[in-house]
Amino acid sequence: MPSWTDMKETQPLVAQMLVNSFKKDRISHAYLFQGDKGTGKREMSTLFAKSIFCKEREGAEPCQTCVNCKRIDSGNHPDLHWVSPDGQSIKKEQILNLQKEFTYTGMESNLKVYIIVDADKMTTNASNRLLKFLEEPNQQTTAMLLTENSQSMLDTIRSRCQLLAFQPLNPERVEKELEDLGVSTSNAKILASLTNNLQEAQELNDEDWFANVRKLVIQLVEVLLNKPNEGLLFINHQWMPHFKERKQLQIGLDVLMLWFQDLIHQDLDREQAIVFTQEREKRDQAVLRWSRQSAAQSLSLILEAKRKINQNVHPTLVMEQLTLQLQR
């Protein structure tokens, strides 16, 4: 149950603007929450709804314990309505049903709130129905539209909403959040370096195949260092069977990039930036093989491999070529 204090740590500007709307008693009839997946849009909208309905709130802070707060937590508040895509899109019928709900008198008060998740996925007909809804706002109705891509929405809808832009989480924040969720410090560092999307980081951590990515990267580096003639054998018999999908292979290459970035960080005495914190001995050995310049060149080679994967070049051929290049 995040509070406004929590939200100010992750999204300070958005949180402060919403808190100010309570202080000034100027809640808009419609908000557009724009931001990447995992930046806290759903949590923010839920908290904002609590603050609207809570009768025991102090300033903007809801009590979290009253009937209204608990109903919102359980998804059973009669005057808070959620709309999500039905399949691939939000359909006209869903907006019509929403409008019908709003013709009834509120169960607890005249306050009503609706939250549309993935609002950019509304069909044209659904968008036009919502537009009519927004054009005639009820003073006691608040809408929150959540989207990762507001540019895909009608300009006329965007213009009737107060736009609030959610910023990507910084890596340190993602790392701390992951550790709080029980992820090991070493894995949290890697995940936070791969993505600033907390939800995506959690999903990666839960994937069985990801658990061995770190180990495979270290094994590849050891082969390149100590048994270069076995590089192609390792790629074909251990690396490629693990990364069955192109998306997985891209992530494997991203983790390999982190290794070479660590070599550069070590050369520049940037200890805080190092991700593979438990592999100091292996890094000491690796810096004798790859200078800062050659580590930077290796990063370029990996980026080129990633580009080829995106262009549908055969993944095994790409990895074999990259392995030979890294051996030189």
What does the pLDDT read at residue 10?
A: 86
Mean pLDDT across the chain:
91
Residues 161 and 34 in one domain: yes
Per-residue model confidence as pLDDT tens digits over 42-59:
999 999 999 999 999 999
User: Does residue 267 share a domain with residue 132?
Assistant: no
What is residue 222's predicted lDDT score, i.e. its pLDDT? Answer: 94
Residue located via tokens 């180990």: 215
Q: Say whether pLDDT at 171 is over 90.
A: no
**232 and 110, same domain (yes or no):** no
Whether residue 127 lies inside any domain: the answer is yes
Look at the block and give the residue holding tokens 């999908």: 245
Does a structural domain hold residue 174? no
User: 263 and 142 in one domain?
Assistant: no
Q: Is 199 domain-assigned?
A: no
Q: Do 211 and 117 fall into the same domain?
A: no
**Residue 253 and residue 119 share a domain:** no
Residue 215 pLDDT > 90: yes
Domain contains 185: no
Q: How many C-beta neighbours within 10 Å does residue 315 have?
A: 20
3 state SS of 84: coil
Encode pLDDT of 161-170 as tens digits: 999 999 888 8
Q: 190-209 burial string, b = 16+ CB within 10 Å, else e? A: bbbbbbbbbebbbebbeeee
Instruction: Report the predicted TM-score, pTM, of the whole model to 2 decimal places.
Output: 0.68
Same domain, 119 and 15: yes
Residue 22 belongs to some domain of the structure: yes
Supply the CATH number for residue 83's domain: 3.40.50.300
If asked whether residues 60 and 119 sit together in one domain, one would say yes
- pLDDT tens digits, one per residue of 220-263: 999 999 999 999 999 999 999 999 899 999 999 999 999 999 99
- Alpha helices, H only, 54-145: 67-74, 92-101, 124-135
More confident residue, 1 or 106: 1
Provide the domain count of the chain: 2
152 and 292 share one domain: no
Q: How confident is the model at residue 108 (pLDDT cuts 50, 70, 90)?
A: low
Examine the domain organization and report whether 24 and 132 are in the same domain. Answer: yes
Between the CA atoms of 303, 304, 306 and 308, what dihedral angle is there, to the nearest 10 degrees?
A: 170
User: Computed from CA positions of residues 64, 51, 36, 5, in that sequence, does the dihedral angle turn out positive or negative?
Assistant: negative
| CATH number of domain containing 267 | 1.20.272
53 lies in some domain: yes
Of the pLDDT bands very low, low, confident and very high (cuts 50, 70, 90), residue 318 is: very high
Q: Are residues 131 and 232 in the same domain?
A: no
Domain span at 38: 4-165
Report if residue 180 sits inside a domain: no
Q: 211 and 159 in one domain?
A: no
Taking only the tens place, the pLDDT of each residue in 182-205 is 998 888 999 999 988 888 898 999
Residue 230 belongs to some domain of the structure: yes
Per-residue pLDDT, 294: 94
